[in-house]
Homo-oligomer: A and B are copies of this chain.
Amino acid sequence: MTGRSDEFARISRYLAPLTEGFPGAFGLTDDAAIIGPMSDRDIVATTDTMVAGVHFMSDERPDLIAAKLLRVNLSDLAAMGAAPLAYLLNIALPASIDDDWLGAFVRGLAADQAAFGITLAGGDSVTTPGPPTFTVTALGTVKCGWAIRRSGARPDDIVYVSGTIGDAAVGLECLQREVAGLTPETRDELIGRYRLPRPRVGLGGRLVGLASAAIDISDGLAADLTHILDASGVGAELNAAALPLSEALKAVLAREPDILTTVLAGGDDYELLFTVAPGYAARIVKIATDLSLPLTPIGRIVTEPKLRIVAPDGAELKLARKGWVHGRKDSE
């Protein structure tokens, strides 16, 4: 227990050091931060709010909350092909949160600032009678006019997904019920994927000028693919047998075939889902090699504006729900 500093002291002791290396933050001592100028870069801006008990467990480790908060925003930047630049942080904390907690939260931010090349530029700190509530607004940059949109998918484009999917959603189920087929280690691995996303920042940058559309998977593969299809005015055929699964998830699927629904509809993967013209397949292979990151073709874009999912047995798969309603702009 270290007690609770007043807001001025909290800002100067805990938050101001996070602005080191970003002169335009003025050490959080001015009215606003200054960013720029960047004559040949667009600024990309995204924001997410996370509430204790809604978006993370109330007793979650503060450094993991901090990292998740930053990473869900970094994932949005990655989906636009933007390089991280700076972020603003708003914390609303109940009086019960002490300086130890805040110190751990800040260490989580500092570690991810170093890992992902982003710096605190400004923020606000207030007291709330409610649950801890955090907002990050992340700013990135992308070559002027080259941000990857959701709306550029064209018929015959290949649909790719990075990494493995379903791990986070099944990890969340592991916290709620007994899931068959897992060792303690693989169970922890899946839960870790739920608790701490790995935003594909490096991949996002490499996809600029290559992907016709991209989104990060937060609401679930099927729901987020539908967002691309709706924005692009096209449809897709998705091959469920091609979905890249971790060894842990393959073990679960062998015991619980219905878990496939969770893989398709579950959220929180924070992998990138993107479409690429078929002629670029070799370039995608090269990027996957360079980044040591699986980039798996899982379907193709079609003209008819409908998502058709072909199950491993060849039948068409119908999803009762296309994705969780939580997580981001569309979040619950």
Contact = CB atoms under 8 A, between A and B. Distances in A.
A129 B45 contact: no
A65 to B, nearest CB: 15
Given A32-B46, A46-B33, A137-B47, A330 B129 contact: no
B34 A128 contact: no
A30 B142 CA distance: 15
B331 A124 contact: yes
Nearest to A55: B126
Given A11-B330, A55-B126, A123-B329, A88 B32 contact: no
Most buried by B among A38, A44, A53: A44
A125 interface: yes
Interface in A42-56: 42-51, 53-55
In this complex, the member of A43, A216, A231 whose beta carbon has the largest number of chain B beta carbons within 10 angstroms is: A43
Interface string A129-147: 1110101010110101001
B125 A329 contact: yes
Interface string A95-130: 000000000000000000000000001111111111
Contacts of A50: 126
A121 B329 CA distance: 12
A172 interface: no
B37 A127 contact: no
A38 B39 CA distance: 6
A90 interface: yes
A232 to B, nearest CB: 11
Interface size range of chain A in the complex: 35 or more
Given A36-B41, A332-B127, A122 B47 contact: yes
A31 interface: yes
A83 interface: no
Contact of A325 (B8, B28, B34, B121): B8
B92 A31 contact: no
Contacts of A126: 49-51, 54-55, 331-332
10 contacts: A26-B151, A30-B149, A31-B76, A32-B76, A36-B38, A46-B122, A51-B126, A51-B130, A124-B331, A135-B137
Given A30-B231, A32-B140, A90-B90, 19 more contacts: A7-B330, A7-B332, A24-B42, A30-B150, A31-B214, A32-B147, A35-B45, A36-B38, A36-B43, A37-B144, A45-B88, A47-B135, A51-B128, A88-B137, A124-B331, A125-B331, A128-B133, A130-B130, A137-B137
